[in-house]
Amino acid sequence: MVKILIVICCIFSANTQAQQEVYIRSGLLASSLTFSPSLMLNQSGENAYLTGFFEGFFDKRISFRGEGNLLLGGMEKSGYYEKGFRTTAGMLLHANKKNLDAHIGLMPGLYIAELVKNRSSLGVNELSVVPVISFNIGGTFYMYEFAHLFINVTYTSTNYRTVYSNINGRADELMFSAGLGFNINAIKNK
């Protein structure tokens, strides 16, 4: 995946040398849908998510982002989750130069999940809603008026102790996302 992003950046680098328009400004709306592998930090296992986000910029240094992660499944037979959907939202702070952007942010949210049978207290699948907090850091290259390349690393802290008292409820994850996104400036440039 990283090799593909490097090749795409090289292809478009000649075009960006002559590029004068800066796309990062107030009114920029950006979104994407991508495949995101994750590594569980307190449990054994790796998960795969379908990740989508929608972000709106208040100015070039502050944005609000909402993100959803649909669990596609564990990458191993003995997973932690049977089903799951996580949603988070929060403010991101940006540092940018022309059309290169780096961001960092904290996003609280909820994880609606069903643990595998051998993880639940009664031995049955129980759907639970658990609060989460995500720390997101990443970079974006806005290559055209309507497209960008991005890479994100998200640490998500989840604790099931409030739901299940007889298991280690820590289910922190480190998720990686990269890909092509789409954007539009909703406010005309002055």
The reply to whether 44 falls in a domain is yes
The reply to whether 15 falls in a domain is no
Find the CATH number of the domain harbouring 30.
Answer: 2.40.160.20
The reply to whether 16 falls in a domain is no
How many other C-beta atoms can be found within 10 angstroms of the C-beta atom of residue 66? 16
The reply to whether 130 falls in a domain is yes
What range defines the domain where residue 174 resides?
2-6+25-185
The reply to whether 145 falls in a domain is yes
The reply to whether 163 falls in a domain is yes
The reply to whether 116 falls in a domain is yes
The reply to whether 20 falls in a domain is no
Instruction: Determine if the pTM surpasses 0.85.
Output: no
Total of domains in the chain: 1
Q: What is the pLDDT along the chain (190 residues), one digit of tens a residue?
A: 666 656 555 555 545 444 568 888 899 999 999 999 999 888 777 889 999 999 999 999 999 999 999 999 876 655 667 788 999 999 999 999 999 999 999 999 999 988 766 555 555 567 788 899 999 999 999 998 899 999 999 999 988 754 454 555 678 899 999 999 999 998 877 6
